[in-house]
Amino acid sequence: MTSILTLAFANPAEFMQAVPGIEANTTFESLNASAVAAKKDMVALLTLDVWTEAVSDDDNKQLLQIAWANLTMYKHVIFTVMKARMTNDKQIYKPEREEMRRQYIDNYYSAMDSLIEAVSSSDAWKQTNYYKLQDKLIIKTIADFESYYPIDNSYLFFYRTMAIQRRTLIAEGFDQSYSMIANRDDLKDKMNTAFVLYVVSLAAAQFDPIALPPTIRDMISDNNSSGGSIDKEAKTRDLAASLAKQSMDIVRSIETALSTPTSDSFASDEDFQQHGDKYLLIP
- For the segment 26-33, the average pLDDT, to the nearest whole number, is 91
DSSP state of 209: G
Closest CA to 34 of 4, 2, 66: 4
Residue 250's pLDDT is what?
97
- For the segment 65-86, the average pLDDT, to the nearest whole number, is 78
User: How far is the C-alpha of 57 from the C-alpha of 49, rounded, in Å?
Assistant: 13
Using only C-alpha atoms, what is the Rg of the chain?
A: 27
Instruction: Answer yes or no: is pLDDT of 94 > 80.
Output: no
* pTM of the predicted protein model: 0.81
Residue 234's pLDDT is what?
87
Closest CA to 68 of 113, 120, 19, 102: 19
Closest CA to 70 of 42, 108, 37: 108
**224 phi and psi, to 5 degrees?**
-105, 20
Proportion of the chain above pLDDT 90, given as a percent: 64
pLDDT tens for residues 137-148?
999 999 999 999
Q: Identify the helix (H) or strand (E) that includes residue 181.
A: none
Measure Cα distances from 60 to 13, 56, 113, 181 in Å: 19, 8, 12, 43
DSSP state of 220: T
Residue 266's pLDDT is what?
43
Residue 262's pLDDT is what?
57
Instruction: Answer yes or no: is pLDDT of 264 > 60.
Output: no
- For the segment 58-67, the average pLDDT, to the nearest whole number, is 96
Q: What is the mean pLDDT of the chain?
A: 84
Instruction: Answer yes or no: is pLDDT of 265 > 60.
Output: no
pLDDT tens for residues 209-253?
888 898 898 888 754 444 455 677 888 999 999 999 999 999 999
Coil vs helix vs strand at 162: helix
* 6 band by pLDDT with thresholds 50, 70 and 90: very high
Domain positions in the chain are 4-122, 129-259
Closest CA to 117 of 149, 147, 150, 143: 143
Choose the weakest-confidence range: 1-10, 64-73, 83-92, 155-164: 83-92
- For the segment 26-35, the average pLDDT, to the nearest whole number, is 92
In the chain, how long is the greatest CA-to-CA distance? 110
Instruction: Answer yes or no: is pLDDT of 279 > 60.
Output: no
- For the segment 176-193, the average pLDDT, to the nearest whole number, is 95
User: How far is the C-alpha of 283 from the C-alpha of 266, rounded, in Å?
Assistant: 28
